[in-house]
Chains A and B, each alone.
Chain A
Amino acid sequence: MENTLLVGLSRQMTLERQMDVVANNVANVNTTGYKADKSLFQEYLTSGAHQDDFKGADRRVSYVTDRATWHDFSQGPAEATKNPLDVAIDGKAFLVVQTPGGERYTRDGSLQINSQGQLVTSAGYPVLGNAGPIVFQPTDKEVTINADGGVSVLEGLSRIDSIRGKLRLVSFAQAQKLVKEGANLYAPGQANPAQPDTTSKVRQGFIEKSNVNSVAEMSKMIEVTRAYTQISALLQQQGDLRKSALDKLADVPA
């Protein structure tokens, strides 16, 4: 008798969580290098008592549970900014960022130079090259970042490029194991070593926009709301049913 309520409740709880995921995607629709999250659900069977010897075997009650949120790592659109320190990565590679908690990975290529001349992220963490942080001299100008991540500059009045380093690009065999840490950073996750990536290309003067498909998120939002209200209506009907059953069955004739 209670199953309807409990099954309905399990669905509503997962829908609420899915709504949170949709809301987070929509909130990050303008976040550089953001990758959308998607919800996955699975059927969850009760392991309670059941009797299968009858002609019509007992049907087991199945609830729903949210199994996972997976990251959609598809390429986001590139926006031209003309800023020499903006890079977009064309491919599945990540930039390597040195944080106090160790190496982290990002697709957010809106880079800056700090007061020590290091190439850093917007949050001020050094972006690593193949030989540690990339450092510029005070007289450097005209920063050029080539498609392979090589960083060169014109130093002083020189007409010949000086090499300042090469952006380290890494990719992962199991990108789904990456853990979102916020601040556009990913932690590597368990048993998921970063491997050098040679196929991805760096595009200077572009930033990768969020890959959230706003139309799809809006329709999913409506879907979630409708499903939620349907369950609410179902629960209400079930309540009414039980109420009338109680009224009728317990109606002792005078």
Chain B
Amino acid sequence: MRALHIAATGMAAQELNVQVISNNIANLRTTGYKKQRAAFQDLIYDHVRRVGAQASDQGTILPVGIDIGGGVKTVGTPRLMTQGTLSPTGNDLDIAIRGEGFFKIQMPDGTYAYTRDGSFQMDQQGRVVTAQGNPVQPTITIPQNSSGLTINAQGQVTVTLPGSTTPTTVGQIGLTRFINKAGLQPIGDNLFTDTPASGTPQDGVANADGFGDMQQSNLEQANVEVVSEISDLIAAQRAYEMNAKVITAADQMLQSTSNLFR
């Protein structure tokens, strides 16, 4: 009875679907989080009677065949890289990107990771770092006792030094973009790494060449929409139940056959 196995693929797929949805809901308030969606495809078909096969010597062909499908498979969990809404925080080192681009972060092992989470801090040396303490690239050091930290739309960081009235530029926060940003690999901590699928990182500056601009004292919220997640969750749950029912029904059929032997 193939129906048993077909329904099992359906249950497995919906279980994964619920996992993806629950991860989206869990990250509802995660800065810079981009929602994922489980994408499904039908499995291979068994062509029991091939459509278009010769039905007679007169050359008539079968207009329809018998194709028995094998169930469903998950093809991927693509990430939806749409813009999240910006919410003002009042914090000088909170930066949101409006448009294309990622912040480039140097990891402790020297490699680079990318993030849309612009809730930065200052470490003991005055460097601009992520919540994990990894420096933002290019590294920017804020001088001690400076005030009036300003980050403009291009990402230029200016401060007012003690005894001075004019602002001094201390660096520029860069942005990096990818031709296929959905192909980035998530590594947790709101960070992504580049992969062969994402294409090579293209470094640049905000507000130029198709990059987005920077908004100081704002953070980008997750692009998860609760209503659509909940309705997807209900649909996934119902689909799971229906597949379970198919297994029960197929089992009943098998049982009635085995009851023939007495």
Contact = CB atoms under 8 A, between A and B. Distances in A.
B76 to A, nearest CB: 5
Contacts of B235: 30
**Interface SS of chain B: helix, strand, loop or mixed?**
mixed
Contacts of B70: 24, 182
Contact size class for A? 35 or more
A176 B64 contact: yes
B44 A190 contact: no
Given A26-B242, A28-B42, A190-B61, A21 B69 contact: yes
Interface in A11-41: 12, 15-17, 19-24, 26-32, 34, 37, 40
A81 B210 contact: no
Contact of B43 (A83, A117, A182): A182
Contacts of A30: 13-14, 17, 40, 72, 235-236, 239
Contact of B257 (A116, A155, A192, A232): A232
B217 to A, nearest CB: 24
A232 B259 contact: yes
**Interface SS of chain A: helix, strand, loop or mixed?**
mixed
A228 interface: yes
Contact of A115 (B2, B4, B49, B199): B199
B51 A138 contact: no
Contacts of B68: 17, 20-21, 24, 69
A44 B163 CA distance: 101
B130 interface: no
The CB with the most chain B CB atoms within 10 A, among A26, A138, A177, is that of A26
Given A113-B179, A177-B52, A218-B245, A27 B253 contact: no
Interface in B21-65: 37, 39-45, 47-52, 61-65
Interface stretch (A45-53, A93-101, A126-134, A219-227): A219-227
B201 to A, nearest CB: 11
A57 to B, nearest CB: 28
Contacts of B80: 81-83
Given A113-B179, A239-B260, A122 B99 contact: no
Interface of B: 1-4, 6-7, 9-10, 13-14, 17, 37, 39-45, 47-52, 61-73, 75-76, 78, 80, 82, 99-100, 177, 179-180, 182-183, 196-199, 202, 208-210, 228, 235-236, 238-239, 242-243, 245-246, 249-250, 252-253, 256-257, 259-260
